Structure formats: C-alpha cells, structure tokens
C-alpha cells in the first residue's frame, strides 16, 4: 500500500507540473488568441494574414518561455505576461563591483524596462546581463552593428556581477536543506537510534552510495572521500528534481555550475594522487620508452578530458530534457486543437516520468565517475611489474 501511495503521489505531482506549465503557456497566448478571433470576423484574406502573424508570434513566445526556463535570472518569476506588462514574483539582490561595492534590488530594473541609478552611475539589465549605460539606458555596438541587435555584442562596460541570482539562491536553499536533513540523521546515528521521518528515506540512499559507489571504486580509503561523494550525489539529485518544477529553475543545466562541480572533482583527484598515478601518466611502466614519449601527452590530455566529460554530460542531458518537455508544452499552444493538445500532453507526461529517472541517473553517473577517477589516482600501483600490460583508461 505504501508503494502504491508513493506512486500515485508522484503521478499527481507530474500531472500538476504539466498542467501548470501548460496553463502558463495558455495564459501568455490568451491575448493573441482573442486578437486572432476578432480578425476572423472580417475578410478571409485578412484572417489568413493575421492568422499567420499569430502563429509566428506564438512560436516566438514559446521560444521566449523556453529561454526563460533555461536561463538564469535576477528575478524569481512565477507568472509573466509581456503584453500586459504584469509579473508575479520578486526581485533578487544585485551586487556589483564598479569602483566600489554597489548593492541594490533588481526591482529597479523593472524587468529590463528601466535604468537603475546608483551613486551617480546608470545600469541597465539587457538580455539577463547588466551593462553600464547613460541616463537614457542606451546600448552601444561596434562599427559592424546590424539591424538584428539581439545577435550583436554590446560595447558597453560591464561591472563585475556578484549578484544573488535565481540559480545562486536555489543552490543556497538546497545546501541549507541538506545541512538540516543530514544533521538530524547524524544525530540519530550518534545516539545509536533508528532514523526517523525523512531519515528513513535518506539512509538506504546513503548506504547505496557507500557500498555500491565508494567502496568498489575507491577501495579501503573510501571513508576519506565519502563525504564528498554523498554531498555531490544529493546536491545534483535535488537540483535535478527542482529543475522539473514550474519554477523555472535550471541549475544543473547551467554550464558554469557543472564546470564548477567538475573542477572540484578534478582538484580532489590531482591533490590526492600518489606517485604511481603520476608515473603512469608521464612514464608508463611496462611500455617501450619510444611509446612512453607518445603516450605521455595523451595521458596528460586525459587528465583534462575527464572533468570535461563530467561537465558536458550533466549539462547536456539536463538541458536536453528541459527543452524537450518545454517544447512539447509549447506545441499544445502552437496547434491549439483537440487532437494535438491531448497527444502532446500525454507525451509530456511520458517524458516527465523519464526525466525523474534521468534526474537520479545523472547524479549517480557523476558520483560514480568521480569515485572512479579518485580510485584510479590513489590506487596502489606497486603490485604491477614492468612486463605487465597496463590498461589505458
């Protein structure tokens, strides 16, 4: 009965997720649908022309909605209507370093519509980036400026942006949540008592990471690295799950975040490596010396391709999943009929169920590969002889 209850709860959450996102699309398109209907009562030629424009506008707004979900922001937005200029949410703190520290609310930008004046300096939020401008908020381009300004790079000066964006706030909240969850679980272990409440859910996952990831890949010294592996596993997993909500959070789909996580693994591997690890990179035993000269650059390159693979794998998989789900929801609005709507709605539910598996799988793969790389770096290579064939990984 408990398993059935959990399954029903997950399906209800997925249904709610799809419904809320579909409703958001529908609300954004309501103005266009009414305009198209009013044009329809005129002539057939005018109807065709206005209908074509509405389709173009629909696709553009769907693309805008997808971009909003994927990109970081200085606002936490629950609902937005560009036509009416209404936004439901709250601004986040903006922290800039421009000849001194400047702190103010992103509300001064009014979602990019106004120029923020701080200590006699003027700043504008333009395509999710903050530029220094004049009082009119003008964005300047180089000599090769073309008509399509969205694809040009502004020449305005950019201050150092240390703001608490939506992704940063999400990571802080997840870190605080993990701290309290695991602190309570650790207290129960110290008291030699059985974990209670949500601790019963965490305990089998902790044991799984310890017994199936850390021990087999790292070996006897697994305890030294277990805290890192547990942290990165739950951190990525929770962020992946939050990325499936209608809040527009896409932390693990941000390549800067996956780059930072991969670099943490990279530095742990390099600083934990023993002499045998470095010997197998620069002067591989059991290999003729001419081949050692050839293999050494390849092994050095492999040091950097491993964290690169960690970074790209997590980023690409999570971004692709979000794009597919948002696109399917967008197609419901684009076609707007009783056949495409239920069909794409069903596809979205199916992909969302797969995304639940992918959210766990990507956290597992990142943790597994991190443990594997650490185990390779601290492995005792003294048991190998010069005449043995050493596998290249």
Of 256, 365, 371, 267, nearest to 319 by C-alpha is 256
Least confident among 145-149, 266-270, 276-280, 348-352: 145-149
* pLDDT tier at 51, thresholds 50, 70, 90: very low
- What pLDDT is attached to residue 335? 78
Phi, psi for residue 42 in degrees, rounded to 5: -85, -130
CB neighbour class for 75 (10 Å; exposed up to 12, middle 13-18, buried from 19) = buried
Of 242, 174, 172, 230, nearest to 203 by C-alpha is 230
| Contact status, residue 119 vs residue 96, Cβ threshold 8 Å | no
- pLDDT digit string (tens) for 281-339? 888 777 788 888 888 888 899 899 999 999 999 999 998 888 888 888 778 877 777 78
| Dihedral of alpha carbons 123, 126, 131, 133, sign | negative
Mean pLDDT, all residues of the chain: 78
| Contact status, residue 303 vs residue 281, Cβ threshold 8 Å | yes
| Contact status, residue 241 vs residue 297, Cβ threshold 8 Å | no
| Dihedral of alpha carbons 183, 184, 189, 195, sign | negative
The single-letter DSSP state of residue 153 is P
* CA angle, 11 then 14 then 19, to 5°: 125
- What pLDDT is attached to residue 222? 92
> To the nearest whole percent, how much of the chain has pLDDT over 90?
29
The single-letter DSSP state of residue 149 is G
| Contact status, residue 384 vs residue 285, Cβ threshold 8 Å | yes
- pLDDT digit string (tens) for 115-167? 888 888 899 988 888 999 988 888 888 655 554 555 567 888 889 999 999 99
Measured in residues, the chain has a length of 393
| Dihedral of alpha carbons 202, 208, 213, 214, sign | positive
- What pLDDT is attached to residue 241? 92
- pLDDT digit string (tens) for 221-237? 899 999 999 999 999 99
């Amino acid at each position: 009965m408990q398993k059935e209850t959990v399954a029903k709860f997950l399906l209800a959450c997925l249904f709610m997720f799809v419904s809320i996102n579909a409703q958001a699309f529908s609300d954004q398109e309501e103005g266009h649908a009414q305009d198209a209907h009013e044009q329809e009562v005129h002539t057939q030629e005018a109807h065709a022309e206005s209908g074509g424009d509405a389709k173009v506008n629909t696709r553009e707004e769907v693309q805008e909605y997808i971009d909003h979900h994927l990109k970081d922001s200085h606002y936490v937005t629950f609902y937005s209507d560009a036509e009416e200029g209404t936004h439901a949410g709250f601004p986040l703190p903006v922290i800039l370093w421009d000849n001194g520290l400047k702190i103010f609310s992103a509300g001064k930008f009014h979602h990019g519509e106004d120029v923020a004046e701080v200590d006699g300096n003027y700043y504008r939020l333009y395509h999710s980036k903050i530029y220094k401008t004049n009082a009119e908020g003008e964005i300047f381009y180089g000599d090769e400026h073309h008509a399509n300004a969205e694809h040009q790079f502004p020449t305005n000066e950019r201050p150092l942006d240390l703001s608490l964006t939506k992704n940063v706030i999400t990571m802080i909240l997840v870190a605080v949540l993990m701290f309290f969850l695991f602190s309570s679980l650790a207290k129960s272990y110290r008291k030699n008592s059985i974990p209670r409440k949500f601790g019963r859910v965490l305990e089998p996952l902790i044991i799984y990471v310890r017994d199936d990831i850390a021990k087999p890949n790292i070996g006897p010294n697994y305890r030294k690295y277990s805290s890192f592996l547990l942290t990165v596993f739950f951190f990525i997993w929770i962020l992946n799950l939050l990325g499936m909500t209608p809040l527009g959070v896409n932390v693990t789909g941000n390549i800067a975040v996956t780059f930072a996580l991969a670099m943490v693994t990279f530095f742990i591997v390099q600083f934990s490596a023993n002499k045998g690890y470095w010997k197998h990179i620069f002067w591989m035993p059991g290999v003729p010396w001419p081949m050692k000269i050839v293999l050494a650059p390849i092994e050095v390159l492999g040091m950097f391709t491993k964290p690169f693979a960690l970074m790209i794998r997590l980023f690409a998989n999570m971004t692709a999943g979000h794009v597919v789900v948002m696109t399917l929801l967008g197609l419901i609005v684009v076609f707007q009929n009783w056949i495409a709507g239920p069909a794409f709605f069903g596809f979205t539910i199916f992909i969302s169920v797969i995304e639940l598996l992918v959210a766990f799988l990507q956290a597992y793969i990142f943790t597994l590969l991190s443990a594997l790389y650490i185990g390779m770096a601290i492995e005792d290579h003294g048991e190998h002889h010069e005449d043995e064939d050493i596998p290249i990984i």
